[in-house]
Chain A
Amino acid sequence: MSTIFDCRCSEKVGGLFPELDVPAQGVERLIDAAHVRTQPLRLPDLSEPQVARHYTKLSKLNFGVDDGFYPLGSCTMKYNPKLNEAMAVLPGFSGLHPRSDVSRSQGALQLMFELTGFLRGIAGMADVSLQPVAGAHGELAGMFLFKKYFQVRGEHERKRILLPDTAHGTNPASAALAGFSVTEVASDETGRIDLAALDEALDDTVAGIMLTVPNTLGIFESDILQVTEKVHAAGGLCYFDGANLNSYMGKTRPGDMGADVFHFNLHKTMSTPHGGGGPGSGPIAVSDALVDYLPVPRVRLENEQYKLDWNCPHSIGSVHSFYGNFLVAVRAFAYILQLGDVGLREVSENAVLNANYLQQRLKKTYALPYDGLCKHEFVLSGKGLAEGISTLDIAKRLIDYGVHPPTIYFPLTVKEAIMIEPTETESKATLDRFAEIMEIVAREAKENPQLLHDAPVRASVRRLDQTQAAKNPVLKVPLDGE
């Protein structure tokens, strides 16, 4: 694939910006020559049609939710309503400067205030901050809250975070970034946290536990109350990774399970788009004990005026430039407003129904290491399907059939994992077709494995040599003279 730097430069460029309408003084008169660029920039000067064609071509090499089924486990690739996009580009939102006087940003503050209320209610917790801009960022902010909590209490020895072995990679990374060490807690044979292992790990050096509910196997921690009670009894706090909220939103709440911090992924559960890797939004909800430590500023309503409250002396401070990803919050607000309580419940009910339906059918063809009711996702194993066939082969073959492969090789507790999350926005017909494709691929794996080894053959490129890419990294276009 050629890059924009391969496009031939156009002779006639310009026209984006107007001529200067004030008397020109000249760069050399306005700033010291020492500050002025000495090497001319080497950006291609292109006509607009060249730019439009190039990026339209690139877009066609992508696969989005609008292109087809995207059962990427743990990522909740549901349909992104078009209304959300229309609301986010309203000039009253998109053109608003973050340093605007609050008298000019009452609508934005109201939206943030009301969304905060919605999320508080959905989580069943004491308060919410919209500031974190991604799930991992919410985790980090949550770990900062843990740290603050124990610092205020003088419990400086609480330096350990417990993590089930099924945890997302961001969990240990976030805990470590906040200065905690990580202790893994094994799962039991049903894929749930082993309570005995938890007991063993708990002591007065534990700051808390990071849980994903339901866990990354798609299994609900039925002992969740015992888990959180044990951690609380040991003086620790409970962090809930909200990546899997789509399985119980509108039916039950993390606050009722003993969560102290819960992060939302608005770009998963609340239908805002992923954008090829962001921007997302990762608001955090907290229990009473942590409210005072939430990031600044907070949005308040006083005398019918919304204001930004910077005067929160116990706050951890800020974790982002301003108020988080506001335009993502606009999308999530529109979504929740449209759904209402009934819609929120229907989302999780249909997400769980779709997952169980698919699990029921696919377990006849693929190994299902943890059999039983699943929530919004389930994990198959590609192991033992056919001699010499890996999960990677299966995934690549799915590309040839026009579906996005599931998440693979995660969670780490399942060998050759295939993690499938269909979401509620897919029809039974789509699920049936996907199941059929999975069955065809399984058959091919046994009868004509070369088809899988060679896959994909219908994408714009075939399997890429990632070993060479890692050994001799080429990380930018070599420009003239390089």
Chain B
Amino acid sequence: MRYIPNTSADRDEMLASIGVSSIEALFADIPESVRSCFRPLGLPPRSEMEVASIVSDMADRNKPTDAVCLLGGGIYDHYVPSVVGNLLSRSEFVTAYTPYQPEISQGTLTAMFEFQTYVCELTGMDIANASMYDGATAMAEAVLMAERIRKRGAVAVPRSLFSHLRRTLDTYCWATDIQIHEMNYLPDGTADWQSLPEQLSAVVVQTPNAFGVIEPLAGLKERIGDALLIVSCNPLSLGLLQPPGAYKADIVVAEGQSLGLAMGYGGPLLGLFAAREEHLRQMPGRIAGRTVDVDGKTGYAMAAQTREQHIRRQRATSNICTNSALCALATTIYLASAGSAGLRQVAKLNLEKAHYLADRITAIDGYELAFAGDFFNEFIVNVPGDATEIHDALVQAGFAVEAPQALQSFGLDRVLRFAVTEKRTKNELDRLTRVLGGSR
């Protein structure tokens, strides 16, 4: 086998030195009654070339690049600069473990520290961790953290949360006996906080929300009493939009995929997690800190480790160990490449192009925006007639658009959701408009 260097002569020598006659003897401590039940998979070994061919065929069956992607709902078809993939593939990053030995992990640790700085700067928060699995578990962990701090056993979340975030949050809250109060949305697509219950550990808000609508956050913190304000956002939009920290958010979470990660059929993703400094001790996840070595030289090490499972065990702030370190590095390199100017530019491209498409579509008879609220790069339109038929026509014409059934859980009928990133060209958007019967 290609990945095992020892020869049979090596093995014989090693067995002799151990003092056993066969490899089987090394497994004598496994009960025979267990071993005799063993059944193989019936899988022959294959050469690398054969495997490459089989797996490539499977990849080819997906053909995502055949269609123009207007899918969104929390994951977006953004451009990933070449420098990201190239630097990310360096084996010193890829094949290293969690930085338990800081002296030989300064690369990972420095990058973690940079990542935390980027996340804090984007979100306007004091502190950030080195990543969570994805936006959904980051949100769930934010709710658990708020519950540890406030202990009220209940949180409020808007109905306009992305479905994948809500599904995950529901599971975590069910398991931890946290009650979820669902807040409906207003006609303009923003959350309706009118009948907000009292005695909450947290109020969660997603912006832009599942309708693409930017939530007005000014004054929200003031009206929710001492419940913690948890804001989930799209970090790419923060190139333009006011950061949640400016609205006194207590915890900010986000799906980081928009900053340099492949869509990858939904994984691996990247959870961003930031908070106000006073909550450091309740934060989940790894955090890198700056310190000095015995010679006074600057270096980085994991900080505030007593929160974590390997020390605090059942009283840890989270069970998380392996997280999304390499994805966080991708985002760090993406932001280093883009800088303030690039991030602002890409955010503007998203905003302008999405509005261009929305304007073109709503110029067609019978099409109108479902919500009047401001949007960033995603919007929902009411369509004339059968949304499924229109969807199918778009798919036939080479566009990837989400099936309208996906939006039924929001109480929306006869609608389609479109996400437009910097990758979409005027030509593609005009062609889409023509399929819908527009003039362009």
Contact = CB atoms under 8 A, between A and B. Distances in A.
A477 B307 CA distance: 22
B28 A373 contact: yes
Contacts of B315: 176
A436 interface: no
Interface in B302-338: 303-306, 308-316, 318-327, 329, 332-333, 335-338
Contacts of B154: none
Interface string B337-370: 1111111111011011101100000000000000
B440 to A, nearest CB: 11
Interface in A84-115: 85-87, 89-101, 104-108, 110-111
A78 interface: yes
Nearest to B141: A177
A59 B107 contact: yes
B60 interface: yes
A332 B79 CA distance: 26
Contacts of B100: 72, 407
Contacts, number: 694
Contact of B267 (A64, A323, A334): A323
B64 A95 contact: yes
A196 interface: no
Interface string B1-38: 11111100011011101111001001111110111011
A465 B294 contact: yes
Interface string B210-244: 00001010100000000000000000001111110
A152 interface: no
B289 A477 contact: no
A380 B127 CA distance: 39
Chain A CB count within 10 A is highest, among B3, B117, B295, B344, for B3
A357 B19 CA distance: 10
A342 B218 CA distance: 62
Contact of A225 (B34, B312, B329): B34
Contacts of A100: 62, 64, 71, 265, 400
Given A405-B101, A464-B291, A466-B301, A428 B94 contact: no
B412 interface: no
A215 to B, nearest CB: 12
Contacts of B86: 52
Contacts of A318: 136, 164, 167-168, 170-171
A21 interface: yes
Contact of B3 (A136, A271, A337): A271
Given A45-B340, A90-B56, A94-B262, A317 B174 contact: yes
Nearest to A398: B101
Nearest to A273: B94
- Of the candidates B42, B133, B177, B309, the one having the most CB atoms from chain A within 10 angstroms of its own CB is B133
Contact of A317 (B94, B170, B214, B299): B170
B387 interface: no
A140 B168 CA distance: 13
Contacts of A250: 40
B77 interface: yes
A174 interface: yes
Given A52-B87, A104-B400, A135 B321 contact: yes
- Residue of A14, A32, A333, A462 with most chain B CB atoms under a 10 A cut-off: A462
Nearest to B342: A16
Of A106, A405, A463, most buried by chain B (CB within 10 Å of CB) is A463
- Top 3 closest pairs, chain A to chain B, by CB: A322-B266, A98-B266, A92-B59
